[in-house]
């Protein structure tokens, strides 16, 4: 697992610093990067100086993006990305589905359904 895109994100956005590196696999790089970019535009446009991310991680197979503050617009973006994460393989980024029948719950494409972390 590479941390480069995660450190880039945290370095580029002051409001990401509190949450540290996103605790997700690389398949969600595009999803998380897009979400952060979209939020960033709103944060700058609306001068949301108090806005901070608390934690970004995977839980029960989908993305969790916890933050302090934020607007309805931001929360709607987060909700959409969290939902979308259930259709993107967390390992490789290909279309996947939420696997709930195995020993652990995760979102995976057919290639990664049985892979261990
Ligand atoms: Zn995959």
- pLDDT on residue 116: 56
Q: What is the pLDDT of residue 34?
A: 98
**What distance in angstroms lies between residue 107's CA and the mean position of ligand 1's atoms?**
9
CA–centroid distance, 27 to ligand 1, in Å, is: 7
56 in Cβ contact with 73 (< 8 Å): no
pLDDT of residue 51: 97
| Angle, helix 29-45 to helix 4-12, in steps of 10 degrees | 0
- CA of 9 from ligand 1 middle (Å) equals 23
Q: Residues with beta carbon < 5 A to ion ligand 1?
A: 89, 91-92, 94, 109, 111-112
46-90: per-residue pLDDT in tens?
Answer: 999 999 999 999 999 999 999 999 999 999 999 999 999 999 999
- The pLDDT value recorded for residue 3 is 77
**For position 1, what pLDDT does the model report?**
55
Domain ranges of the chain: 4-87
The pTM of the full predicted model, rounded to 2 decimals, is 0.93
**In this structure, what is the dihedral angle of CA atoms 21, 116, 29, 46, given to the nearest 10 degrees?**
-50
Angle, helices 72-84/29-45, rounded to nearest 10 degrees: 180
Confidence of residue 106 (pLDDT cuts 50, 70, 90): very high
Q: What is the pLDDT of residues 86-101, one digit of tens each?
A: 999 999 999 999 999 8
């Amino acid at each position: 697992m590479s941390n480069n895109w995660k450190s880039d994100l945290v370095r580029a956005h002051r409001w990401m610093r509190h949450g540290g590196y996103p605790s997700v696999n690389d398949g969600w790089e595009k999803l998380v990067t897009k979400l952060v970019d979209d939020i960033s535009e709103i944060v700058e446009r609306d001068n949301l100086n108090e806005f901070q991310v608390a934690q970004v991680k995977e839980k029960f197979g989908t993305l969790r993006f916890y933050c302090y503050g934020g607007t309805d617009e931001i929360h709607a973006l987060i909700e959409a990305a969290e939902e979308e994460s259930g259709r993107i393989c967390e390992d490789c980024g290909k279309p996947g589905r939420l696997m709930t029948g195995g020993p652990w719950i995760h979102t995976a494409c057919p290639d990664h359904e049985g892979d261990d972390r």
